[in-house]
């Protein structure tokens, strides 16, 4: 099998490569992989472009992780409020069944 890695150079003391993988081209730098979108030509990828691309992907990743933390907090708040509502509904249902039982006894 032919090695399809293209060495770009060193970025922050780490080697950067453009690789041809099963699902398309990707960039490897600092033991991390970054998928290269189809609209960005892998043939024209150089070290400067790779540096900008990695900075963009890392920034978007941090932004997304911050949003997911906010969403997790919102979901946990929603779940706790739903559990409280469920507890209230159960207690009112129990009261109704007690009332219904007393009515049938009379």
Q: Tokens for 24?
A: 């398309």
User: Is residue 58 domain-resident?
Assistant: yes
pLDDT at residue 1 in the model: 45
User: Is residue 78 domain-resident?
Assistant: yes
Against a cut of 0.85, is the pTM above it?
no
User: Is residue 88 domain-resident?
Assistant: yes
Q: How many domains does the chain have?
A: 1
d(CA 90, CA 83): 11
User: Is residue 1 domain-resident?
Assistant: no
pLDDT tens across 81-92, in order? 666 655 555 555
pLDDT tens across 10-65, in order? 888 888 989 888 888 999 888 888 888 888 888 888 888 888 888 888 888 888 77
pLDDT at residue 4 in the model: 76
């Amino acid at each position: 099998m032919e090695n399809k890695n293209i060495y770009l150079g060193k970025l922050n003391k780490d080697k950067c490569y453009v690789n041809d993988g099963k699902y398309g081209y990707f960039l490897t730098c600092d033991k991390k992989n970054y998928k290269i979108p189809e609209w960005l030509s892998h043939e024209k990828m150089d070290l400067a472009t790779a540096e900008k691309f990695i900075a963009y992907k890392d920034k978007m990743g941090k932004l997304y992780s911050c949003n997911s933390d906010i969403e997790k907090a919102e979901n946990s708040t929603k779940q706790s409020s739903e559990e409280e509502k469920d507890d209230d509904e159960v207690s009112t249902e129990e009261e109704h069944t007690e009332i219904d039982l007393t009515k049938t006894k009379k």
